[in-house]
Structure 1
């Protein structure tokens, strides 16, 4: 039976089912386990979390201790204890990036734990991922560029985990652009978080190979959608949407994808969304064998694949959700200066806020200056996208994100 109790009434032997409050306040990323370690109990009491749910059918009850809140119905599923995210007040990129940095760091550890459990053969409990999805969605609702841009920055060691976090955030942002409701958006976010679970059981020498795969190695890697689908289905808690995206995020609308060679309307809308989000994060991220493409350059290249790889309606909505020049893009101004895109303008995709920092005429760095291209007083405009593969600037992230947030994320400004 589920019971809500004050955190002070917890004791060893109780089965912790769920924690009240923000997921970021919790000392653990997962719940649903029997408390057996005094150090875990001490962390909970010191965390500031005020209340929790216990399952007395799986552990000790509170006995005669007073219960301040009435028990939840015994039939209530765990997922109902955490409602879908609701629309929150928008914030600026500079405000949200600091909160997003904390969330990204904790999300990475959560997904790492999820993958490790899968490698050990433990069942994947999709329900325990819902608080994480809700927190990511909340950040995207406040300012989508913060979470999405930070999650794009990865190291070789954390690529697989951060890719899952990034695709979750991209799916939430795309869902909002397509006008999906909170429940459908939450399902899309969960699907994004779990879409690559099959990679948890891929051979590490193939998964992390710093070069082109052989035909046999690629055949092994192409099995990851089906392996992930089987793992999620066996867990028994994944939604139909999460199962679908896991199995079909490598399908292409022209029928050249895998594992089933589906084409056009044979592919669900959610799987089409997953395909776009998966590819964008993959090509913009640094990998062992190549550096990621610039965000704006990636949008341009993906546009060339539209109609064969991606659904046109989904791709257009994806571009609107990110902007033609996503945050972090390197651009050349009409004045001859180079700039980094710092924030989107919801009224005009071609007029974001940019920070100029380099003169192509003098070939020298200049004092960074923030320009709002939507302001009538601003006479400069974006002339073209630029590739940092040519310029090799090493400090672009520090122009749009504060050093403290980057450091927390493991990036040196």
Structure 2
């Protein structure tokens, strides 16, 4: 870093300054930023600093030509305007702090809701053999609750937490896929009956795993050819179990048996193609693959949300209904919430929500040693004119960064709300 200290009266527009002060002792959103107007200079001159560090490499090359003592600068820096500007900065800063508190509250509530859903799924699976009618009834209750909650909360629609469990199991995957499928289904204006079918199919889609040995399901490396052929029968096994239950609708069984089929005929177990796959199955195929890539058991697992989306779009696009995949990406984002990223300026952040105006510039919560975690900064990358350099895996972070960004065994999905319209 090409760094140099300047007296406060030497500050000019275009300099990139770095403040050696606690975050709450000044009104600026960050401790490091480029000076953009005379009001900022006036505030900087009032701070309890003798000199201010400036990163010359990140400063505008023309800053030295700026004349802050010009008549235009004097007019801009009138006292009344300066006070209003300072008040605006403090107001925005406190608003950001409040947004963070509200986000944390939502995450906590979401965590409780998610655990309830996972426990219900566990109960349902445990009753499948001994009390299939009871299991089906509990499934209707679980899915019905999820449909109602999604309908009542069109802005956030679904939040899933604790996806990176130390004791990963199929219950978490079932809840993840159910919620993702319901949200995506809602974007296609499915009615309540269709949503319930979709949710039930999503909940039971991996029913056939009950007949697959755990050493195959949990294997970290690639499957042998024999293991792969055995595993590829699980949709058939799941449909057989579903029929034995006797109370699951035909539409649910269809989703179970076809959820690994692809539009181009390359899926399994039957190698079906587009003409054989209904919309509900097409939705389930996309969300199931996404969650498997992020949180699955096999060799293709533990991708970041961005890496999963990128893989599905760039390498597997022919597998999916193009409208379903596009809608999924549009509402989840190129950098889905929960993605850890490195910004162009080197800072580490986690995506909190997408910007529909520019999917490459979401809103992010930034890691900073200078700002307390409970007051962490949320930035709109469109407003800040900052881009994302790369996505990161949580395993690439330090423990301090994981705890600060609230990523300890946690990952969140947020979807855009109803105001952005539906797919017709």
TM-score band (shorter)? 0.5 to 0.7
Find the counterpart in structure 2 of residue 388 from structure 1: 393
CA-CA distance at 1:273 after TM superposition: 0.9
Distance 1:384-1:238 versus aligned 2 partners, 3 A rule: farther
SS in 1 for 2:329: helix
**Residue 245 of structure 2 corresponds to residue 238 of structure 1:** no
Please say if residues 97 and 147 of structure 1, whose CA atoms lie closer than 8 Å, have aligned partners that are also in contact: no
Q: Deviations over 1:284-304 (max 9, x none)?
A: 116475751111121111111
Matched, 1:332 2:342: yes
Instruction: Tell me, in whole angstroms, the C-alpha distance in 2 between the residues paired with 1:182 and 1:372.
Output: 37
Alignment TM-score, normalising by the size of structure 2: 0.64
The structure carrying a bigger helix percent of its residues is: 2
Per-residue deviation, residues 325-362 of structure 1 (Å, max 9, x unmatched): 2111122323332211123345653443211116xxxx
2:173 match: 163
Match for residue 113 of structure 2 among 103, 113, 135 = 103
- Are 2:364 and 2:379, in contact at CA under 8 Å, matched by a contact in 1? yes
Tell me what 2:283 maps to. Answer: 273
Greater shift, 279-288 or 295-304, is seen at 279-288
Structure 2 residue 383 is the aligned partner of structure 1 residue 352: no
Relative to the length of structure 1, the TM-score reads: 0.65
Question: How many residues are treated as equivalent by the alignment?
Answer: 307
Residue 226 (str. 1) matches residue 231 (str. 2): no
Quickly say closer, same or farther: Cα 1:204–1:388, change in 2 above 3 A.
Answer: closer
* 1:127 aligns to 2:175 (yes or no): no
d(CA) in 1 for partners of 2:198 and 2:155? 15
CA distance in 2, matches of 1:236, 1:186: 17
- Structure 1 pair 210–335 and aligned structure 2 pair: CA distance change class (3 A): closer
Alpha-carbon distance between aligned partners in 1 of 2:298 and 2:326, rounded to the nearest angstrom? 30
Q: State the partner residue of 2:302.
A: 292
Match of 2:207 in 1: 197
Q: 1:224 to 1:119 in 2, by over 3 A?
A: farther
Match of 1:212?
222
| Correspondent of 2:331 among 293, 314, 321 | 321
Q: Deviations over 1:133-159 (max 9, x none)?
A: 13333444537868554153233x332
Q: 1:276·1:315 contact (CA, 8 Å) conserved in 2?
A: yes
| Distance (whole Å) between structure 1 residues aligned to residue 150 and residue 105 of structure 2 | 13
Over the residues paired in the alignment, what is the CA RMSD in angstroms? Answer: 3.2
Cα 1:237–1:399, aligned 2, differ >3 Å: closer, same or farther?
farther
In structure 2, which of residues 311, 320, 324 is the aligned counterpart of residue 310 of structure 1?
320
In the TM superposition, residue 224 of structure 1 has moved relative to its aligned partner by: 0.9
Give the match for residue 75 of structure 1: none
The CA deviation string for residues 147-197 of structure 1, in whole angstroms up to 9 with x for no partner, is: 554153233x33211111100011011112222223322221221111111
Residues 406, 391 of structure 1: alpha-carbon distance in 2 compared, 3 angstrom cutoff: closer
Matched, 1:152 2:163: yes
**TM superposition shift of 1:200:** 1.8
For 2:120 and 2:365, locate their aligned partners in 1 and report how far apart those are by CA, in whole Å: 34
Distance 1:149 1:105, change over 3 A: closer
Q: Structure 2: state its 5+ residue gaps.
A: 1-101, 412-424
Bigger RCO of structures 1 and 2 (CA < 8 A, at least 6 apart):
2
